[in-house]
Amino acid sequence: MTSKIPVSILGATGTVGQKFVRLLADHPWFEVAAVAASSASAGRAYGEAVRWREQTELPERIAGLTVQPCTPPLPGPIVFSALDADAAGPIEQAFARDGAFVVTNARNHRMDPDVPLLIPEANADHLVLIDGQRQHRGWKGAILANPNCSTAGLVLALAPLHQAFGIEKIFVSTMQAVSGAGYPGVPSLDIVGNVIPHVGGEEEKMEGESRKILGRLDPDGVTPADFLVSAHTNRVAVVDGHLETVSVGFRRRVSPDEAIATLRAFRASPCVADLPSSPTPPVEIDLRSDRPQPRLDLERGRGMAVTVGRIRPCPILDLRMVLLGHNTVRGAAGQAVQIAELLVADGRVGARP
């Protein structure tokens, strides 16, 4: 072991769990000390239990770790959760009660009033919610949540516009990759050559979560932003990357040039911008007429940037645009790692090496 901060991964065998393993393999501050999953995997070597789908080699040291059951304690102050939502609730609570900072990708606790739902570039100030959470619940640790993968890209792109102009209405239609459904996910006979115009629960999540993230932090918690959101979600035959077409209405008229200048100038606060996982810039603008595209633009900012294009007037609302976010990096493991980095930079966990 090195002087890095040990961390554990719950649900390490799944799609998001594997992305955690890959992103943490050579992380400057963190080192994977334990991997955990269901009773079907526990007790086996990780390299045997996992059906490794990442395009890099599984690191030998991690392949040799024995998969643990998802019961506390596991090593380290930070536990990343990539658990199926059916199992996540009580398991994550048990770890937080036991003293771990649980950074979760599951939906179970996202809308709890005392759980911060974070996109560090947009609302790092919501982190303080964990103080009340620990106090009220009597926990030594805390739960911090990552938004749903479609919400993460949408809100990162719209946060600068909301700050500058005030959003009143959002109309969004998604084209979501199959990896968003985990592994093995959507049967190939359902999705190849097809579009499925329904992603269970996703529209409600986008509508509620975006308002919480861009809400105002008050002494009693977060007052949700008061804009309206209408979301249509679709599953398409793309492996990774959620593309979203968006129309936005503002409190005043906003021209495409104003929006482009605002998005180009957007930078995270210095504390967030300096985190190892933070991309610079967080929002990339590509004004070529046929961009962004999942196959060509997904890895911008190592999967942590959102790419926005086709910014033009909308005859119904004010502006329309297309955006692309990486569902398992910005929308899941990558941003969860960034949130854990924020905990360290904020002095709440250990010391960075």
Ligand X SMILES: NC(=O)c1ccc[n+]([C@@H]2O[C@H](COP(=O)([O-])OP(=O)(O)OC[C@H]3O[C@@H](n4cnc5c(N)ncnc54)[C@H](OP(=O)(O)O)[C@@H]3O)[C@@H](O)[C@H]2O)c1
Q: Which is nearer to ligand X, 116 or 249 (CB)?
A: 116
Residues in contact with ligand X, total (CB under 6 A)?
A: 29
Does 149 bind ligand X (CB under 6 A)? Our answer is yes
Candidates 62, 77, 92, 105: give the one binding ligand X (CB under 6 A).
105
- Give yes or no for a contact between 127 and 346, defined as CB atoms under 8 angstroms apart: yes
Contact window for ligand X (CB under 6 A) among 80-88, 161-169, 216-224, 285-293: 80-88
Query: Which residues inside 312-331 make contact with ligand X, applying CB under 6 A?
Result: 327-328, 331
Give the nearest distance from C-beta 267 to ligand X in angstroms. 25
Q: Which is nearer to ligand X, 37 or 319 (CB)?
A: 37
Query: Which residues inside 176-195 make contact with ligand X, applying CB under 6 A?
Result: 179-180, 182-183
Candidates 5, 7, 8, 17: give the one binding ligand X (CB under 6 A).
17
Contact window for ligand X (CB under 6 A) among 82-90, 93-101, 293-301, 305-313: 82-90
Q: Annotated active-site positions, please? A: 149, 242
Query: Which residues inside 212-271 make contact with ligand X, applying CB under 6 A?
Result: none
Does 89 bind ligand X (CB under 6 A)? Our answer is no
Residues in contact with ligand X by the rule CB under 6 A: 11-17, 37-38, 40-41, 70, 82-85, 87-88, 105-106, 149, 179-180, 182-183, 327-328, 331-332
